[in-house]
A = this chain, B = another copy of it.
């Protein structure tokens, strides 16, 4: 469950989150959507490191840039789910892998 400090942390990162009350209510779609992205974000970083690949290399594999990969991994709000998923697929993730990460969010 998300607490107030998490909301602050997210806003510091640049996320535009709704009111605190709404935010603290039983997970709005918005909050859950953000949590989903962050979960994929973390997983991406772990997977990339596990494979001993640099951001630069991953960027090249998917025709992106190092800076964008960095943003993906730091949970920058300008990064889309699309890009996160494509990154994971590029790293060899299976549909089941993705599903596992997503199912673990809450």
Majority-rule SS of A interface residues: helix
- Give this chain's copy count: 2
What residues of B have a CB within 8 angstroms of the CB of A99 in the complex?
98-100, 102-103
A85-106: which residues lie under 8 A (CB-CB) from chain B? 85-86, 89-90, 95-96, 98-100, 102-106
A36 near B85 (CB under 8 angstroms)?
yes
Evaluate contact between B90 and A36: CB separation under 8 angstroms: no
Q: Which of A29, A81, A89 is packed against the most chain B CB atoms within 10 Å?
A: A29
A-B contact pairs, 19 of them (CB 8 A): A29-B86, A29-B90, A32-B89, A33-B85, A33-B86, A33-B89, A36-B95, A80-B81, A81-B82, A81-B85, A95-B103, A95-B104, A96-B103, A98-B103, A99-B99, A99-B100, A99-B102, A99-B103, A102-B102
Residues in chain B near residue A98, CB distance under 8 A? 36, 99, 102-103
